[in-house]
Amino acid sequence: MHEDLFARAEAGDEPALDEIFDRLAPRLLALSARFGSTPADDEQILGDLFYGLLKESRRFRRHGGSATAWLAFAVRTGRIEKRRAAAHLPRAWPPRQNPLRISLAWLPRPSDIARIDERRDLLNKVLRHLPKPQMQVLEMAVFDGLTESEIAEKLKQPLGMVAAELRAAFRFLRHRMSAILGTWNAGI
Amino acid sequence: MECRHLDDLYELYLLGALGVSERSEIHEHLRADCPYCTERLRQAALTVYFLALPDRKVRVPQPLKAQVLRRLIKK
């Protein structure tokens, strides 16, 4: 998405805001629904997100970070914290340790996000190669927002085994994604 | 900073899936603008983004869009 659009929206340009909304809102609602929101929550969710986006856009543009990525992390974090609070679990991050608050230098660049969206079919095929136990713990971490020790407790498995499955799953994905996206950097 | 021992933890950190001590270690590196950790986190964020964000889109009803934009413009 063109960075200029955000600068215009920040300055109160309504057509720019309208365009940003049309491009991003449909996927954000799909993401939010994946984490348990209902249509009754949509107005609040979108309002808060776009308000946050405009407030933070100067910050992530300074680092060359992707607005779509910022929004995706903000939606997931918000929904996961809500779900954890409802389940009487401690916060996933103490407020001052939320990675989105500490720094935005780690946000992916818009070109990398665009490449993921272009190659999603191929990436989905990679995902299907994960062994079942790895996929199970991965989904519990990504979608249920559980920590390694909470997953171990829930599955009645040793923490070491769950941690090993999760780390193996991410090693596999990291390696395959780097190859598919062409982001492999042997120097780092 | 020596950070290679954190290589398997960046995705889990972004997901909020780590225990306190591992989370705090990455937190400190991020706060200190550690270039190695920042770059690794950027790669990890791509994986997390891919896993979390669905392909599908939800149609946003026009009245909902109008309400949200009105609220934003007021602020």
pLDDT per position as a tens digit, A101-145? 888 889 999 899 989 988 999 999 999 999 999 999 999 999 999
In CATH, what class is A119-188?
Answer: mainly alpha
Report d(CA A6, CA A32) in Å as an integer.
Answer: 22
What is the ipTM, given to two decimal places?
Answer: 0.89
pLDDT at A188: 37
Which residue of chain A is at minimal alpha-carbon distance from B31? A102
What residues of chain A, 154 to 173, have a C-beta less than 8 Å from chain B? 166-167, 170-171, 173
Residue A116 touches partner B, C-beta closer than 8 Å:
yes
- Alpha-carbon distance values, A85 to A43, A76, A146, A158, B36 (Å): 21, 14, 12, 25, 33
Helix (H) / strand (E) element for A164: namely: helix A159-181
Residue A148 scores a pLDDT above 90? yes
> Looking at residues A162-187, what average pLDDT do you find?
84
Other residues' Cβ atoms within 10 Å of the Cβ of residue A50: 23
Of B13, B17, B57, the CB nearest to A26: B57
Higher pLDDT, A183 or B46: B46
Mean pLDDT, chain A, integer: 88
Residue A25 touches partner B, C-beta closer than 8 Å:
yes
Of A46, A103, A174, the CB nearest to B47: A174
A81 — phi, psi (to 5°)?
-65, -35
Residue A72 touches partner B, C-beta closer than 8 Å:
yes
Q: Which residues of A touch B23 (CB under 8 A)?
A: 93, 97
pLDDT at B46: 93
What is the total count of domains within chain B? Answer: 1
Residue B7 scores a pLDDT above 50? yes
Residue A2 scores a pLDDT above 70? no
Domain extents for chain A? 1-108, 119-188
Mark yes or no for CB contact B43/A21 under 8 Å. no
Contact B38, A106 (CB under 8 A): yes
Report d(CA A95, CA A93) in Å as an integer.
Answer: 6
Report d(CA B56, CA B50) in Å as an integer.
Answer: 13
Contact B68, A50 (CB under 8 A): yes
- A58-104: pLDDT as tens digits: 887 788 888 888 889 999 998 899 889 999 999 888 877 888 888 88
Label each residue of A17-58 as H, E or C: HHHHHHHHHHHHHHHHHHCCCCHHHHHHHHHHHHHHHHHHHH
The beta-strand segments (E) located in B1-75 are none
How close is the nearest chain B Cα to the Cα of A147, in Å? 4
Report d(CA A57, CA A150) in Å as an integer.
Answer: 34
Of A97, A167, A177, the CB nearest to B50: A177
pLDDT at A147: 96
Mean pLDDT, chain B, integer: 90
Report d(CA B66, CA A38) in Å as an integer.
Answer: 19
A146 — phi, psi (to 5°)?
-95, 150
Contact A174, A130 (CB under 8 A): no
Tell me which residue of A115, A35, A26, A162 sits closest to B46, measured CA to CA.
A115
Mark yes or no for CB contact A108/B54 under 8 Å. no
- B10-45: pLDDT as tens digits: 999 999 999 999 999 999 998 898 999 999 999 999
Question: Which residues constitute the domain of residue B41?
Answer: 4-74
pLDDT at A1: 61
pLDDT at A162: 97
Residue A163 scores a pLDDT above 80? yes
> Looking at residues B56-63, what average pLDDT do you find?
87
pLDDT at A168: 96
> Looking at residues B47-56, what average pLDDT do you find?
88
Best of B13, B47, B56, B62 to substitute, by most chain A Cβ atoms within 10 angstroms, is: B47
